[in-house]
Each structure stands twice: as C-alpha cells, then as structure tokens.
Amino acid sequence: MSLIVHRIGPACTIQDQGRVGYLDQGLSRSGAADLQALHEGAVLLGQSPQLAALEMAGMGGEFEATQPLGIALTGAPMQASIDGAPVVWNASHQMEAGQRLVIGAVTRGTYGYLHVSGGVASKSFLGSRSAHLTAKIGKTVQAGDTLPANSGPPVRGMRLTLGNRFSGGVLRVIASFQTPLFDQETLDRFAQTEFRRGSRANRMGMQLDSEGEGFAAQGQLNILSEVITPGDIQMTGTGNPFILLPECQTTGGYPRIATVLPCDLPRAAQTPAGGKIRFEFVSLDEATTLQTAYSAELARLPGRVEPLVRDPHDIPDLLSYQLIGGMISATD
C-alpha cells in the first residue's frame, strides 16, 4: 500500500520519535516537533506511536491512495478533503484506491501530521525513519515520491476532541546548570516578559522577540561549549532567547537561561509566527509531577477516542439535543 505524492509543501519530512543514544557522537534526536501528535494519530488508527508519519510544516499537499488505506490527521489543524469532500481534523478516515487527499494550509499552529495505517515504511537509519536535514539524513518529501505504508486493517472513522496547543501560551521551565549565570533581576524580568515567536524558526529552533532590553548572562562571552538538548533556551549575543527544537546542535556556547519541560515542547513548537509566549519557572519536584501527569494523560488517550458518526442508540441524552432548528412547513 502507498500514497502517491502529486503536490506537497516545501518543508514536509517523514518523522517518528527520533534517534536516541547518539548525542555523544554529535547527532541530536530529530523526530517529530510535536511528539504528542504521534500519540494522537496512533490511537486514532489503533497502532503504535513509534510508527512514522508525514510532518507538514505550514502546508500539506495532494496524495493519491494506490489501495484501500486508513489515514489520520493530527497536529496543527489544516484544511483537508478527500475527493473534494471536507474531512474532519483530529480524526481517522478510510481512503479507497484512486481517491485523492488534499491538505491545505494550517489554520492554527505550525506542524500538521498525516498518519497511515501501519505507519510510513520509509527506509530506517540508526533505528529511526526520521529525516534530520541538518545532519543530511533523509530529505524533504517531493512531488512524484511515494509514501510506502505497511498493511493495516480497514479503518473506522474515529475522532479526538483536544485542547488548543496551537496559539502559544505559558511554557513551564526549570533552571539549567547555567541559570545562576543570570542575576535575579534578569531572571525576574525574563519570567515577567511577554515574548512573540519571531520569523526565524525551523526544526532546529525558534527565536523569540520582545519589547525592551535584551537578556544577558554574566561573562557571557567566556562560557565553554556544553551539551544541549531540545527545550534548552539559549540567549544569543543580541539578547533574544532561542528555544531549541528536535534538530538542534548537540553542543553550544550560548548561555542557557532555562529548559522547557518536555510536556510543554509540543505547545512551544506549535506556536505560530507572532504567537505570544510567557515562561513560568517550576521546581524539579513540580516538573516531575507535571511530566508524570502528562504521561498519564497520553496513556488515557485511547479512552477519549469516539466514532466520527455516533449511533443514536449510544447517546443516552439524545432527547436533549435540538435535532431540527428553524421554522418548517408541511406544505412549503
């Protein structure tokens, strides 16, 4: 089974949960910018969140099914249709051979995901199918490519109702080893500042802009390069924070004022250009509690899936719904 790519946006890549264990060799994890979206697609298709999907940055494309194929659409909402009929986002759908799926631009957020039943079966390298463009692993998907898919069972249309993580908001952070290099006045000002996601953003990281004076650490120009990971917030020479994302470098000499909790990284990555962000420092114990709660919420996702079309027999409060609205006439 496969999807033929007839048209596609400029920054679409195959992503799974990335490569773990190669940081000491200079290779960062890569993987989906919004790992939560992988879990959501997995429960909609009844499969493992370890499987690969197509990550679409800002724009989708047009895809043709070569055989009957189940798909799911998650992440940043995008306009989508199958053979011209609109389809629901955060939902799974069955495509028949020859049908065409068209995915347009994002309406909120940054990264949308196209999942296929059985997962995208592209070539694996070092235990992952994820493209890592800065490391020259894999490539962007192009028109004329085929997305191979492992075989999977027919898909029943299902949906998830989710909160909004696509407009920015509050990101919880913990102190890093270099946080003490910033004086308390700078840290307080950092936590009180409303930032906007700037135009400089990709899978390596995203710049934040703000009004007023920039942020700097003591002895900023003399800091030795150290190991860095996704979620670290580096302060550049201009005083602008950069939140590092999955394809970030493995070491860096800019001071890190804090680190975004992994559970808040999907919200960070999905913040659109101009979206507003604030930071809230939490203790290590609070961070552990928040991360544990987030993992539990992911584990509960299968219980939140519901049919796209509900059987009236399964709606106990059916009579409370207004099934017909407006004026009607038996003769007009």
Q: Domain count of the chain?
A: 2
d(CA 195, CA 193): 6
Residue 303 covered by a domain: no
Residue 267 covered by a domain: yes
Residue 316: the pLDDT is 52
Q: Is the pLDDT of residue 301 over 80?
A: yes
CA angle 224, 226, 231 (to 5 degrees): 130
CA atoms 188, 295, 284, 175: torsion sign: negative
Instruction: Please give the average per-residue pLDDT across 203-227, as a whole number.
Output: 82
**CB of 100 closer than 8 Å to CB of 143:** no
Number of Cα atoms under 13 Å in the Cβ half of residue 224: 3
- The reply to whether 67 and 140 lie within a common domain is yes
- The reply to whether 24 and 120 lie within a common domain is yes
From 110, 126, 159, the end of a domain falls on 159
Residues 6+ apart with CB under 8 A from 322: none
If you average pLDDT over each of 13-17, 159-163, 239-243, which comes out highest? Answer: 13-17
Tens of pLDDT, residue by residue over 261-296, are 999 999 999 999 999 999 999 999 999 999 999 999
- The reply to whether 10 and 113 lie within a common domain is yes
- The reply to whether 262 and 194 lie within a common domain is yes
Q: How confident is the model at residue 28 (pLDDT cuts 50, 70, 90)?
A: confident
CATH number at residue 250: 2.40.100.10
- The reply to whether 236 and 176 lie within a common domain is yes
Domain that holds residue 50: 2-159
Closest by CA to 272, choosing from 162, 77, 108, is: 108
d(CA 293, CA 310): 30
- The reply to whether 108 and 244 lie within a common domain is no
- As a whole number, the mean pLDDT across the chain is 89
Residue 153 covered by a domain: yes
Residue 318 covered by a domain: no
More confident residue, 216 or 4: 4
- The reply to whether 251 and 180 lie within a common domain is yes
d(CA 311, CA 187): 54
Residue 102 covered by a domain: yes
- The reply to whether 32 and 117 lie within a common domain is yes
Instruction: Please give the average per-residue pLDDT across 300-322, as a whole number.
Output: 68
Residue 268: the pLDDT is 97
Strands 100-106 and 2-8, how do they pair? unpaired
Q: How confident is the model at residue 314 (pLDDT cuts 50, 70, 90)?
A: very low
Measured between alpha carbons, how far is residue 245 from residues 29, 34, 200, 268, 297 in Å? Answer: 10, 10, 13, 9, 23
- The reply to whether 208 and 279 lie within a common domain is yes
Instruction: Please give the average per-residue pLDDT across 190-203, as a whole number.
Output: 93
Strands 61-65 and 2-8, how do they pair? antiparallel
Q: If you count them, how many residues does the chain have?
A: 332
- The reply to whether 269 and 239 lie within a common domain is yes
Return the minimum-mean-pLDDT range out of 139-153, 168-182, 215-229, 284-298: 215-229
Q: Is the pLDDT of residue 317 over 70?
A: no
**CB of 83 closer than 8 Å to CB of 109:** no
Residue 23: the pLDDT is 86
Closest by CA to 17, choosing from 126, 103, 116, is: 126
Residue 206 covered by a domain: yes
- The reply to whether 268 and 127 lie within a common domain is no
Residue 268 covered by a domain: yes
Tens of pLDDT, residue by residue over 124-167, are 999 999 999 989 999 999 999 999 988 777 788 999 998 889 99
From 159, 184, 204, the end of a domain falls on 159
Residue 64 covered by a domain: yes
The DSSP line for 238-257 is: TS-EEEE-TT--SEE-S-EE
- The reply to whether 119 and 214 lie within a common domain is no
Q: Is the pLDDT of residue 328 over 50?
A: no
Residue 322: the pLDDT is 52
Tens of pLDDT, residue by residue over 33-75, are 999 999 999 999 999 999 999 999 999 999 999 999 999 999 9
Q: Is the pLDDT of residue 109 over 90?
A: yes
What are 319's two structure tokens? 């009579």
